[in-house]
Amino acid sequence: MSFSLFAVHFVYRYFTACKPENLRLFRGLKFFSWLLGALFAAVSWGMATFLLFPETDRTKRSLIHVLKESYDLDPLWIGNVPYSYRRTDENGIEHPDIPNILGILQHGVIMALSFSTVFYCGMQTHKKIKSHKGVSDRTRELQNQLFNALVLQTIIPTILMYIPTTTIIVLPFLGINVGSYSNITTVTVQMYPAFDPLVLLFLIKDIREAFFKTVCLGRDTKRKACTPTMLSFKLKHVMI
């Protein structure tokens, strides 16, 4: 779901900067079609996980070993998605694990489509921003801020989402068991939605000033509300 919503986010930014006439596709009921598309990608990911990564005696044995070595937990209480490229028959001969490979390919296609969309929309938006030469210093400053924000908003999900998830998919192919370190992927993917708005908050001057103005204004309002009471209290004591 995170990968598909992230791609939709960049499509919206691409339309805003390069093809504003296409923003109509995000208005009214059409907006929900984007959400349904993201939901479809998430459901297909989940269905592939459920159907193509079945739990077998071999994966149970592997899971028991991993849980004991890395977590010291009872495998009966733990759900898992056994990424595996090969299976070993009763003669000790390895064969490709076709269902698992198909599931991994399906996950990889979703990630590749998401990253390709982000990369294309990001590049086109960058070109559009650079092509508009601001006539004033303020316009040029805003363009630079938007460009820096775009770069960071592309780098952050690449580091937090795409690279960790790709690593988890590739390592089993190389026969590398990372144990509990695989949980880093879950943490970093969930961290991305919290980091993304901070980029705009700290890099776009107008947004930053509006935020701090709102916060400070709330504090000033409280101070002003207390001031008349405090003055009245002091005046009463002076009069006495």
Give the integer Cα–Cα distance in Å for 122 and 128.
10
- Does the structure show a pLDDT above 60 at 233? no
**Alpha-helical runs (H) found in 28-176:** 30-52, 57-66, 98-131, 137-157, 163-173
The SS3 of residue 72 is coil
Task: Please determine, for residue 162, whether its predicted confidence score (pLDDT) is greater than 60.
Answer: yes
According to the model, what pLDDT value does residue 234 have?
37
Q: Where do the domains of the chain lie?
A: 2-203, 204-240
Say what the pTM is.
0.70
pLDDT tens digits for range 41-79: 889 988 888 888 877 777 777 777 777 777 777 766 776
The sign of the CA dihedral 204, 207, 210, 211 is negative
